[in-house]
């Protein structure tokens, strides 16, 4: 009963926030003269932070060292546990353009916010779309805005970190932008995929690693870089859980 009431309150508050944010987003977008719409994106991320703040079931612990310059572009990569990752990671105090599946951009209101913020839409089964989105990601980085990519490509099914694809790492090497790894844990149970109720009160941990430079690397180094970054994330999550890294990582098929 408490779970139902708590979830109903959280969804009501989140819905009201999303609607209240519409005139804010419209006004900020109108005044935002940058091609990358950095300020518009920043206000959209602030909505994510507000959504976390009104949910009584979530406590977020942020660790690591945040970049000192929000306009230093990074290719930000992290593991993906649930849809709760998006507002929780939005607590990081800078804008970054998110690469997300096209269906997210068709969600009423929120999809409009994503388009206003110049987030990156991709049809994952369309090769041309995948090529085009990487061109757009490169443009955002050139405009001094970081890009956020989940290299797993989808949410984990059991809480373990899935294998990473190397597209984000190829992008980093091609642009010379450092990789900024982040690790998240606890969000898998925060918003289960099989219902509308939020999980029990819990702590979600979010860690920002030091940037990983790509100086001197070439395209053929992308796979090694990919595995090195995934290992960092897996080891951090395993440490939080008090298990061996092999227990926090899904095997590659």
Q: Which pLDDT tens digit goes with each residue over 187-243?
A: 998 876 666 777 788 899 999 999 999 999 999 999 999 999 999 999 999 999 999
* Cα(253)–Cα(248) distance, integer angstroms: 16
3-state SS of the chain is: CHHHHHHHHHHHHHHHHHHHHHHHHHHHHHHCCCCCCHHHHHHHHHHHHHHHHCCCCEEEEEEECCCCCCCCCCEEEECCCCCCHHHHHCCCCCCEEEEEEHHHHHCCCHHHHHHHCCCEEECCCCHHHHHHHHHHHHHHHHCCCEEEECCCCCCCCCCCECCCCCHHHHHHHHHCCCEEEEEEECHHHHCCCCCCCCCCCEEEEEEECCCECCCCCCHHHHHHHHHHHHHHHHHHHHHHHCCCHHHHECCCC
**Least confident stretch, 25-34, 153-162, 195-204, 243-252:** 195-204
Q: In the structure, what pLDDT confidence band is assigned to residue 5 with cuts at 50, 70 and 90? A: confident
pLDDT tens string 31-77: 999 999 999 999 999 999 999 999 888 899 999 999 999 999 999 99
Residue 253 is assigned to a structural domain of this protein? no
**How far is Cα 233 from Cα 79, in angstroms, rounded to an integer?**
7
Domain count of the fold of the chain: 1
Note down the domain range covering 238.
Answer: 2-248
Is residue 160 in some structural domain? yes
Mean pLDDT of 8-21: 93
pLDDT score for 93: 93
Domain CATH for 137: 3.40.1130
- Let me know if residue 168 belongs to a domain: yes
- pLDDT in the model for residue 24: 97
CA-to-CA distance for 159 and 13, rounded, in angstroms? 27
CA distance 65 to 225: 21
- Burial class of residue 246 (count of CB atoms within 10 Å of its CB; 0-12, 13-18, 19+): exposed
């Amino acid at each position: 009963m408490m779970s139902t009431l708590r979830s109903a309150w959280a969804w009501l508050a989140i819905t009201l926030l999303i609607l209240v944010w519409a005139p804010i987003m419209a006004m900020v977008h109108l005044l935002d003269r940058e091609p990358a719409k950095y300020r518009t994106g920043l206000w959209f991320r602030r909505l994510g932070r507000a959504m976390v703040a009104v949910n009584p079931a979530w406590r977020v612990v942020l660790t690591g060292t945040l970049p000192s310059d929000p306009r230093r572009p990074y290719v930000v990569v992290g593991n993906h546990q649930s849809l709760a990752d998006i507002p929780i990671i939005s607590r990081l105090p800078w804008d970054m353009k998110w690469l997300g599946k096209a269906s997210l951009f068709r969600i009423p209101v929120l999809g409009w916010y994503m388009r206003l913020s110049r987030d990156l839409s991709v049809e994952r089964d369309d090769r041309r779309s995948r090529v085009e989105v990487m061109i757009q990601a490169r443009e955002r980085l050139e405009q001094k805005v970081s890009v956020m990519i989940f290299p797993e490509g989808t949410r984990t099914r059991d809480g373990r970190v899935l294998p990473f694809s190397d597209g984000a790492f190829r992008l980093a090497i091609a642009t010379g932008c450092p990789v900024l790894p982040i690790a998240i844990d606890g969000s898998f149970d925060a918003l289960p995929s099989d219902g509308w109720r939020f999980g029990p009160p819990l702590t979600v941990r979010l860690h920002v690693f030091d940037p990983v430079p790509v100086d001197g690397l070439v395209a053929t180094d992308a796979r090694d870089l990919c595995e090195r970054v995934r290992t960092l994330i897996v080891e951090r999550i395993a440490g939080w859980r008090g298990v061996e890294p092999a227990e926090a990582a899904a095997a590659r098929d």
